[in-house]
A and B are shown apart, each in its own frame.
Chain A
């Protein structure tokens, strides 16, 4: 299975930029697409899709969120960070047939 590694936590100030990283132990690119996706989960809620195929914004997600990367290194950026962005962020890969795997999550907190 492909393993995704995220830092457990990140603290940023309101209005600043937050950069969350996700590294994989195998390349998740396939024919020009990077099969890396990002989700936001607030306490007591279900996850919500933010970014798909590394850099595509999901429907209804504000442009403060962006994603980039390819191969084995990916980042989710929130700029500027708002109070409502405090949550845990997960990356997920779907390079092949299942099993699809998630990172361990990065908890974003405000300084």
Chain B
């Protein structure tokens, strides 16, 4: 059974940093692209970032480019999202998602974690 478990969310002040983790199990982690998707009541679902199987290809939505970094450790079956210079508009539930296969383009979100809430507020 595919399982994705996020951790690391919480309350953080604007301008500070937070690192999310996603522990994966139930599949061969290194064979699949991974992603982060966030959700707010006002903006709905937003793709945030994606990473290829080996980590060599990464993509970010424009609003987080230069502030967020997606990475993965295939030996630990874990992906990460380093979030720096956080803003109030980054407040959301962040979901870890496994892509359908190993391609990092023209893909979709086959499995989702339960989400972790990030609140950016002073």
**Cβ of A99 and Cβ of B115 under 8 Å apart?**
no
With A47-B109, A94-B107, A96-B106: A102-B95 Cβ-Cβ less than 8 Å: no
- Classify the interface of chain A: helix, strand, loop or mixed: loop
**Which B residues lie within 8 Å of A48 (CB)?**
112
Chain B residues, CB < 8 A from A97: 59, 104-105
Complex-state Cα separation, A52 to B75, whole angstroms = 29
A-side interface size class: 20 to 34
Whether B114 sits at the interface, judged by CB under 8 Å, is yes
Which one, B46, B60, B95, B106, contacts A94 given CB within 8 A?
B106
| A81-99 Cβ-contact flags toward B at 8 Å (1 or 0) | 0000000001010111111
Contacts of B46 in A (CB 8 A): 102
Contact B108 A52 (CB under 8 A): yes
Given contacts A48-B112, A92-B109, contact A100 B47 (CB under 8 A): yes
Closest A residue to B58 by beta carbon equals A98
Task: Tell me if B113 counts as interface (CB < 8 A to partner A).
Answer: yes
Are B45 and A102 in contact (CB-based, < 8 A)? yes
Interface pair A46/B112, CB less than 8 Å apart:
yes
Q: Which 8 residue pairs across A and B have the least CB separation, nearest first?
A: A98-B59, A46-B112, A102-B45, A37-B108, A100-B47, A97-B105, A94-B106, A52-B108
